[in-house]
C-alpha cells in the first residue's frame, strides 16, 4: 500500500473515530440529564419540606416520585426502541426531560410537582436503557468499555452540574429565597433542549438496522464510524440474529437467555444495594444531619460531585485495561470500608472532615466500580436478540430498588444513619463473593463472541 493510500485510510479512520465519539457523547446527553435530574432535588428538599409541610415519609415519596416514573420509562422503552429505532426514542425522551424541567419550575402545588417529576422520571428510566444500548451497539470491541463509560461520565457530570447549579442559585438568590428551588429545577431545561436538537443528528445503530433488514444502510453507518470491514461486521451481526429471524419472536424468558439475564440482574441489583443513591439524593441532608448549615451543605455536596467525576475518569482509563470484573471486586472492598466508616460516623455523631471522607469514599467507590461498569457489562452480557428488552428489565430492577432506597433512607436515618450504612456494607460483601464466583470478564470480546461464551446459540 502506497503512502497516499495509507494517508487516506488514516484520515478516514480519524473521521470515523470523531463521528463515533460525537455520537456517543450526544447519546450520553440523555445520561447527563439522568444525572442532573437525579441530583437536583437534593438542593430542594428542605424548601419542599417547609413549603408543603412534608413528613419524613412524604418527603421520601416526593423524592421517589421521579423514580416511579423511571419504572415506567425503563419498562416501556424497550419495545419502542426495537420498533422505531434507538435514535427516535432518544429524541422523544428529550421532550420528556424538557417538559419536566419547565413544569417543575412552574409547579402550582405539590401534586403538579409530583406529576412533572414523574414525567422527568420517565425520561430518566428510558435514557438509562437506550443511551447505553445505543453506544454499546455502535462501539467496536476494543473501545466499547471506554465509549459506554462516556454514558456514566455524563451521569456523573450531570450530578456535579446539578450540585453546582444548586449552589450557584443559592449563592445568587440567597439560600432562603422562596423561589430558589424553582430555579434549581428550571435550569435543567437548557441541557434538555440541547439534547432534543442534537439527538436528531446522530446515525441509527447499525445493529438495529441489520435487525430490521436494512443491511446496506448498516454497512454505510459502520463505514462512517471507521470500521475497516463493514461487510464482515454486518455478516457477523446477521449470523448472531439468525435464530431470531428464522425461529420467530424471541421471548425474554427463553431458557437459553437465563444465564445472561441472571448475571445482568445481579449487577443491576447491587448497583442500588451499594447505597449510592441514598448519598446522591440526600447529600445535603446528610451534611446537615452532621451539623453543617445549609450553605455549607450545598458547597460540600459540590466536593462529593467532584470526587464522583474524578473517580469516573479514573475508571474510564482502567475499564478496558484491567477489566470489568476486577473493578467490581476492588470496588466491593473499598465500599465495605467506606460504609463501615459512615456507619461509625453516625453511630458516634462525629463531625467535620471525617463525614466528608466517608461520603467521598462511598461515592468514589461507586464511580470507579459499579457506576463505570454497570451500563457497560449489562449490555455486553445480553444477546443481540434481547438486548433492548433485557436491558429494560435490568433497568426496571435498578429503579425499583432505587425507589426503596430513596424512600426508605430518610425514614431509617431519621434517628441515625448507622443501620442503613451498615446494611450497605453487608451487601457489598455479598457482591464480592458473587462477582468473584460467577461473573465472566467481558473486556475486548465482541458482542457476538460473548453470546457463545454464555451458551446462547443464535
pLDDT in tens, 126-164: 887 888 888 878 777 667 677 777 777 888 788 888 888
Average pLDDT over residues 58-82: 83
CA atoms within 13 A on the CB side of 192: 24
* Domain range annotation of the chain: 17-453
16 pLDDT tier (thresholds 50, 70, 90): low
Please tell me the predicted confidence (pLDDT) of residue 72.
Answer: 87
Per-position DSSP letters for 164-220, written without gaps between them? HHHHHHHHHH-TT-TTHHHHHHHTTHHHHHHHHHHGGGSPPPHHHHHHTT-HHHHHH
DSSP line for 79-139? HHHHHH-HHHHHHHHHHHHHHHHHHHHT--SHHHHHHHHHHHHHHHHHHHHHHHHHHHHHS
User: Looking at residues 297-313, what average pLDDT do you find?
Assistant: 80
Cell numbers for 60: 421520601
State the pLDDT confidence band at 211, using cuts at 50, 70 and 90: confident
Instruction: Judge whether residue 254 has pLDDT over 50.
Output: yes
Confidence of residue 100 (pLDDT cuts 50, 70, 90): very high
Q: Mind listing the pLDDT tens digit for each residue in 399-430?
A: 888 888 877 777 776 666 788 889 999 999 99
- CA-CA distance, 76 to 352, in Å (whole number)? 45
Rounded to whole angstroms, the Cα distance separating 77 from 129 reads 8
354 burial via Cβ count (<10 Å: 0-12, 13-18, 19+): middle
Answer with the residue of higher pLDDT: 297 or 386.
386
Contact (CB, 8 A) for 248 and 405: no
Q: Are 17 and 138 in contact (CB under 8 A)?
A: no
CA distances from 5 to 8, 11, 230, 232 (A): 5, 10, 18, 21
Q: Give me the percent of the chain exceeding a pLDDT of 90.
A: 21
- pLDDT at 89 (0 to 100): 92
Query: What residues contact residue 101 under an 8 Å CB cut-off, 6+ apart?
Result: 120, 185, 186, 187, 188, 189, 192
- For residue 333, the model assigns a pLDDT of 96
pLDDT at 12: 46
Does CATH number 1.20.1250.20 belong to domain 17-453? yes
Q: What backbone phi and psi angles, to 5 degrees, belong to 97?
A: -60, -45
- Return d(Cα 93, Cα 125) in angstroms, integer: 9
- Where residue 455 falls among pLDDT bands split at 50, 70, 90? low
In sequence order, which ranges of 276-417 are alpha helices (DSSP H)? Answer: 276-281, 283-289, 294-318, 324-348, 353-368, 370-381, 387-412
Instruction: Indicate the pLDDT class of residue 37, thresholds 50, 70 and 90.
Output: confident
The label of the residue with cell 463473593 reads: 433
Name the band, by pLDDT with cuts 50, 70 and 90, for residue 242. low
Mean per-residue pLDDT of the chain: 81
pLDDT above 70 for 293: no
238 pLDDT higher than 50: yes
Find the mean pLDDT for residues 314-339.
Answer: 91
- With bands split at pLDDT 50, 70 and 90, how would you rate the model's confidence at 434? very high
Stretch 206-211: mean pLDDT, rounded? 84
Amino acid at each position: 500500500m502506497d503512502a497516499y493510500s495509507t494517508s487516506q485510510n488514516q484520515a478516514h479512520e480519524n473521521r470515523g473515530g470523531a463521528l463515533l465519539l460525537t455520537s456517543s457523547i450526544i447519546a450520553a446527553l440523555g445520561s447527563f440529564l439522568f444525572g442532573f435530574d437525579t441530583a437536583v432535588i437534593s438542593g430542594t428538599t428542605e424548601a419542599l419540606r417547609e413549603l408543603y409541610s412534608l413528613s419524613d415519609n412524604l418527603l421520601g415519596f416526593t423524592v421517589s416520585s421521579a423514580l416511579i416514573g423511571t419504572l415506567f420509562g425503563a419498562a416501556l422503552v424497550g419495545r419502542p426502541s426495537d420498533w422505531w429505532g434507538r435514535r427516535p426514542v432518544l429524541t422523544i425522551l428529550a421532550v420528556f426531560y424538557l417538559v419536566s424541567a419547565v413544569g417543575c419550575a412552574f409547579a402550582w402545588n405539590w401534586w403538579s410537582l409530583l406529576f412533572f417529576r414523574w414525567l422527568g422520571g420517565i425520561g430518566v428510566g428510558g435514557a438509562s436503557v437506550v443511551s447505553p444500548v445505543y453506544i454499546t451497539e455502535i462501539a467496536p470491541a476494543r473501545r466499547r468499555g471506554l465509549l459506554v463509560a462516556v454514558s456514566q461520565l455524563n451521569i456523573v457530570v450531570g450530578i456535579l452540574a446539578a450540585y453546582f447549579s444548586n449552589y450557584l442559585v443559592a449563592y445568587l438568590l440567597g439560600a432562603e429565597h422562596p423561589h430558589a428551588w424553582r430555579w434549581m429545577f428550571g435550569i435543567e431545561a437548557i441541557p434538555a433542549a440541547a439534547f432534543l436538537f442534537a439527538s436528531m443528528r446522530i446515525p441509527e445503530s447499525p445493529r438495529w438496522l441489520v435487525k430490521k433488514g436494512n443491511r446496506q444502510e448498516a454497512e454505510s453507518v459502520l463505514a462512517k464510524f471507521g470500521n475497516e470491514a463493514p461487510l464482515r461486521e454486518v455478516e457477523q451481526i446477521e449470523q448472531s440474529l439468525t435464530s431470531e429471524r428464522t425461529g420467530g419472536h424471541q421471548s425474554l424468558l427463553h431458557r437459553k437467555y437465563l444465564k445472561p439475564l441472571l448475571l445482568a440482574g445481579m449487577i443491576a441489583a447491587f448497583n442500588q444495594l451499594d447505597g449510592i443513591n441514598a448519598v446522591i439524593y440526600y447529600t445535603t441532608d446528610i451534611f446537615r444531619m452532621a451539623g453543617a448549615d445549609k450553605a455549607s451543605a450545598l458547597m460540600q455536596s459540590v466536593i462529593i460531585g467532584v470526587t464522583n467525576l474524578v473517580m469516573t475518569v479514573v475508571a474510564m482509563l482502567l475499564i478496558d485495561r484491567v477489566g470489568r470484573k476486577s473493578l467490581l471486586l476492588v470496588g466491593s472492598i473499598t465500599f465495605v470500608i467506606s460504609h463501615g466508616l459512615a456507619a461509625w460516623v453516625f453511630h458516634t455523631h462525629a463531625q467535620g472532615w471525617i463525614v466528608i471522607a466517608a461520603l467521598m469514599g462511598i461515592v468514589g467507590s461507586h464511580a470507579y466500580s459499579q457506576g463505570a461498569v454497570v451500563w457497560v457489562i449489562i449490555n455486553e452480557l445480553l444477546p443481540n436478540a434481547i438486548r433492548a428488552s433485557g436491558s429494560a428489565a435490568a433497568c426496571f430492577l435498578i429503579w425499583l430498588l432505587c425507589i426503596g432506597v430513596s424512600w426508605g433512607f430518610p425514614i431509617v436515618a431519621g434517628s441515625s444513619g448507622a443501620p442503613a450504612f451498615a446494611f450497605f456494607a453487608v451487601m457489598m460483601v455479598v457482591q464480592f463473593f458473587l462477582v468473584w464466583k460467577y461473573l465472566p470478564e467481558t473486556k475486548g470480546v465482541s458482542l457476538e463472541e460473548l453470546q457463545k461464551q454464555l451458551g446462547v446459540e443464535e
